[in-house]
Amino acid sequence: GIVRGTSNASNQDVVGQRTTDEAVKNTLLNNRSHTENIYDNSSHNRYYVNVIPLVGAATNNVVGAVYLRANLESVYDSINSIS
């Protein structure tokens, strides 16, 4: 449940901290991927979230998880301009 890295250069202070995200906690407990689309009320942006468990080859136990969050606003903008 400890954050080991981030690709966001302005958010490096989360590295080493315990995660508060329920999707990550559930993935670590259940060894199941989690996918959802979320809406952030504060920024008014839509995001695609995917949490994937990392399983150790030797022990077959969950050793971590990868949390991916992608902004979908450019996708929706493209769809709107096409239609």
Domains of the chain from N-terminus onward:
9-82 (3.30.450.20)
State whether residue 54 is helix, strand or coil. strand
| 22: β partners | none
pLDDT tens track, the chain, 83 positions? 888 888 888 889 889 999 888 999 999 999 999 999 999 999 899 999 999 999 988 888 899 999 999 999 988 888 888 98
| 45: β partners | 40
pTM of the model: 0.78
- Contacts (Cβ under 8 Å, ≥6 apart) of 39: 45, 46, 47
